């Protein structure tokens, strides 16, 4: 794994940049290494297969994030469906108007707090995917936001997302 330089004093923007770089450098490698298995699993599990992919992609870097004192500000509830050790399915949105069945988008959000329990901002995670076959038509992405309230985050996601428009 590439050396990931995460420091406890980072801002949400700096943390987002490090996570974005990690994803950019590793998403295809993890995909190519697991593609046959994921394509077979998709026949039975459909969209849940993308969570299986993210369970392979995100945990190595998320563990480094946690080691430096960063955490999700929201606690995991008993009935939560958590993907990649950090993405709560209940904190996500998917809209048909953002894409097509071959290129759909789901956006997750994580409000981040530092080692002092201070909320520093929100990380959005965008996953482009197909509902027809196992396919990632675009690179997954982390994107930092200053907004931290659920209503503000949802409003910002809707504002940022347009037809086939990536975050940012």
pLDDT digits (tens, 9 = 90+) for 4-29: 899 999 999 999 999 999 999 999 99
What proportion of the chain, given as a percentage, has pLDDT over 70?
Answer: 92
Residue that wins the pLDDT comparison between 102 and 141: 141
pLDDT at position 167: 55
CB atoms within 10 A of CB 114: 19
What is the per-residue burial (b if ≥16 Cβ within 10 Å, else e) of 69-87? bbbbbbeeeeeeeebbbbb
SS3 37: helix
pLDDT at position 17: 96
In this prediction the pTM is 0.92
Question: 12: buried, middle or exposed (CB in 10 Å: 19+, 13-18, 0-12)?
Answer: buried
Helix, strand, coil share (%) of the chain residues, nearest 5: 40, 25, 35
Average pLDDT, rounded, for the chain: 92
pLDDT at position 132: 93
pLDDT at position 99: 73
pLDDT tens for 56-87 read 999 999 999 999 999 999 999 999 999 999 99
């Amino acid at each position: 794994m590439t050396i990931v330089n995460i420091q406890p004093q980072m801002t949400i923007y700096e943390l987002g940049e490090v996570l974005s770089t990690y994803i950019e450098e590793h998403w295809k490698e993890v995909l190519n290494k697991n593609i046959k298995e994921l394509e077979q699993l998709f026949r039975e599990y459909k969209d849940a297969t993308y969570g299986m992919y993210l369970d392979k992609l995100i945990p190595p870097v998320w563990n480094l994030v946690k080691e430096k004192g960063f955490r999700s500000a929201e606690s995991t509830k008993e009935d939560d469906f958590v993907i990649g050790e950090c993405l709560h399915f209940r904190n996500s949105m998917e809209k048909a108007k953002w894409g097509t069945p071959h290129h759909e988008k789901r956006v997750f959000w994580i409000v981040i707090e530092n080692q002092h329990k201070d909320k520093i901002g929100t990380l959005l995670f965008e996953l482009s995917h197909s509902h027809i076959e196992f396919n990632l038509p675009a690179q997954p992405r982390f994107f930092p936001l200053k907004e931290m309230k659920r209503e503000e985050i949802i409003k910002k996601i809707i504002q940022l997302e347009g037809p086939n428009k990536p975050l940012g």
